[in-house]
């Protein structure tokens, strides 16, 4: 695949556009879960205004009363075009896509296609907590194949888990998080090819959650799982929701490779009734016309990663932070602070700053917190000040 350099867009940094007073007027989960004296840097929402092309597409639709059911393949076409321009991937065939309500419900539906009740779903903890909840809720068994100490997939551990998962002739799936939430790890083509080889060897089906794919820093390549040799048996979930902050206007896409198209074709028609038409409109506009905004966001996130690293070194030098190459999440190892398994509680109650507790991320999560960097440098600075105060 040809590497496509990301441009510098000349757009203003969207992370600097909104002040705290304005943000506190929001009614979404990030801003309404804790009292007003708590600074929220937890759930993965971004403190940005919407990209202008998204606002325009939504307001045009509202002005027209275009609020019926979704139709057509515009979202998938926009994603295919984005994938080619951004990642040099020409293999996304619109005919092998299906619109789904959101990424997690898409994950559930894909797992339903390739596994049965009681079968194993392998995940790489520490990982996005709903991977555990949604998989358990659909009556599958979660099998943990922890990331290695370098936050990369440990292929030896993965192989052991694949072997155990298919024992007795059972079906099994690997729910890959790519890029990885919370560590920001961007899996390489070599790693993903090795995953595909193992999956093939053991007959494990790969479902790749690629929601964070557009949020990869400039000089790192995102590699779509379906693009690697052997990846064509996989199923991917993609969405504009994380990169353009569109979780409230729901839609996502399931994408099949050539060898999994027959599975995707079995997706029940009613699943396509879940996504919102306004969601599809917003996501399409983001992918089609929102790349300049995205580039400005990525530049801002890069600044924030460096800012956080500097602030931690100054105020909380015991906290270990290895900036990842993707997502807007920072995974902080607070074990040296001696605050026990759930330091997020201490930061919340003594520092009045809300971070995500590491424990629900599974093995390797205890003693960690996840900090959401998609906010202004001022808020990050204040958050670290509060975290340091909590230790006094």
Binding site for ligand PLP (CB under 6 A): 44, 102-104, 128, 177, 181, 209, 211, 239, 241-242, 247, 252
Residue 236 burial class via C-beta count within 10 angstroms: exposed 0-12, middle 13-18, buried 19 and up: buried
Question: Which position has the token pair 């270990």?
Answer: 320
Query: Does a cis peptide bond (omega within 30 degrees of 0) precede residue 182?
Result: yes
Query: 247 or 357, CB closer to ligand PLP?
Result: 247
Q: Helix 377-390 and helix 343-351: axis angle, to 10°?
A: 100
Bridge partners (DSSP) listed for residue 131: none
Task: Answer yes or no: are the C-beta atoms of 331 and 323 closer than 8 Å.
Answer: no
Query: Does a cis peptide bond (omega within 30 degrees of 0) precede residue 316?
Result: no
Task: Answer yes or no: are the C-beta atoms of 253 and 239 closer than 8 Å.
Answer: yes
Query: 241 or 375, CB closer to ligand PLP?
Result: 241
**Shortest distance, CB of residue 329 to ligand PLP, whole angstroms?**
8
- Half-sphere exposure at residue 186, Cβ-oriented, CA atoms within 13 angstroms: 20
Say how far apart CA 81 and CA 86 lie, in whole Å: 8
The SS3 assignment for 228 reads coil
Say how far apart CA 333 and CA 318 lie, in whole Å: 9
CA dihedral sign of residues 159, 123, 348, 323? positive
Query: 102 or 109, CB closer to ligand PLP?
Result: 102
**Shortest distance, CB of residue 341 to ligand PLP, whole angstroms?**
22
Query: 120 or 247, CB closer to ligand PLP?
Result: 247
Q: Of all helices (H) and strands (E), which one includes residue 379?
A: helix 377-390
Query: 242 or 288, CB closer to ligand PLP?
Result: 242
The SS3 assignment for 259 reads coil
Say how far apart CA 288 and CA 95 lie, in whole Å: 19
Instruction: Kindly report the length of the chain.
Output: 392
Query: 250 or 386, CB closer to ligand PLP?
Result: 250
**Shortest distance, CB of residue 28 to ligand PLP, whole angstroms?**
12
**Shortest distance, CB of residue 51 to ligand PLP, whole angstroms?**
17
Query: 170 or 277, CB closer to ligand PLP?
Result: 277
166 DSSP 8-state letter? T
Query: 181 or 291, CB closer to ligand PLP?
Result: 181
**Shortest distance, CB of residue 140 to ligand PLP, whole angstroms?**
17
**Shortest distance, CB of residue 145 to ligand PLP, whole angstroms?**
16
Query: 82 or 202, CB closer to ligand PLP?
Result: 82
**Shortest distance, CB of residue 284 to ligand PLP, whole angstroms?**
15
**Shortest distance, CB of residue 364 to ligand PLP, whole angstroms?**
16
| Number of helices (H), then strands (E), in the chain | 13, 13
Task: Answer yes or no: are the C-beta atoms of 49 and 18 closer than 8 Å.
Answer: yes
**Shortest distance, CB of residue 315 to ligand PLP, whole angstroms?**
27
């Amino acid at each position: 695949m040809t590497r496509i350099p990301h441009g510098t867009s000349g757009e203003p940094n969207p992370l600097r556009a909104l002040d705290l007073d304005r943000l506190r007027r929001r009614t979404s989960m990030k801003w309404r879960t804790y009292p007003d004296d708590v600074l929220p840097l937890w759930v993965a929402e971004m403190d940005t205004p919407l990209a202008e092309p998204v606002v325009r597409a939504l307001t045009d639709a509202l002005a027209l009363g275009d609020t019926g059911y979704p139709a057509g393949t515009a979202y998938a076409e926009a994603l295919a075009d984005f994938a080619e321009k951004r990642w040099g991937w020409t293999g996304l065939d619109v005919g092998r896509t299906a619109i789904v309500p959101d990424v997690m419900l898409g994950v559930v539906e894909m797992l339903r296609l390739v596994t049965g009740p009681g079968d194993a779903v392998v995940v790489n903890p520490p990982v996005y907590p709903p991977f555990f909840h949604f998989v358990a809720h659909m009556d599958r068994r979660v099998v943990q194949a922890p990331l290695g100490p370098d936050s990369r997939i440990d292929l030896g551990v993965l192989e052991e888990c694949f072997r155990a998962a298919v024992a007795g002739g059972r079906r099994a799936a690997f729910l890959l998080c790519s890029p990885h939430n919370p560590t920001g790890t961007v899996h390489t083509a070599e790693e993903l090819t090795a995953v595909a080889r193992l999956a093939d060897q053991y007959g494990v089906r790969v479902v790749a959650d690629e929601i964070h794919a557009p949020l990869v820093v400039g000089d790192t390549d995102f590699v779509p799982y379906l693009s690697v040799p052997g990846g064509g048996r996989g199923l991917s979930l993609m969405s504009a929701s994380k990169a353009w902050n569109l979780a409230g206007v729901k839609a996502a896409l399931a994408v099949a490779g050539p060898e999994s198209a027959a599975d995707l074709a079995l997706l029940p028609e009613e699943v396509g009734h879940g996504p919102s038409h306004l969601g599809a409109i917003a996501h399409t506009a983001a992918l089609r016309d929102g790349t300049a905004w995205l580039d400005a966001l990525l530049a801002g996130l890069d600044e924030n990663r460096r800012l956080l690293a500097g602030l931690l070194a100054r105020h909380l030098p015991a906290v270990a932070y290895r900036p990842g190459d993707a997502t807007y999440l920072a995974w902080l190892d607070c074990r040296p602070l001696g605050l026990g398994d759930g330091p997020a509680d201490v930061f919340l109650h003594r520092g009045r700053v809300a971070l995500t507790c590491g424990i629900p991320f599974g093995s390797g999560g205890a003693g960690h917190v996840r900090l959401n960097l998609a906010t202004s440098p001022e808020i990050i600075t204040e958050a670290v000040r509060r975290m340091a105060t909590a230790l006094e």
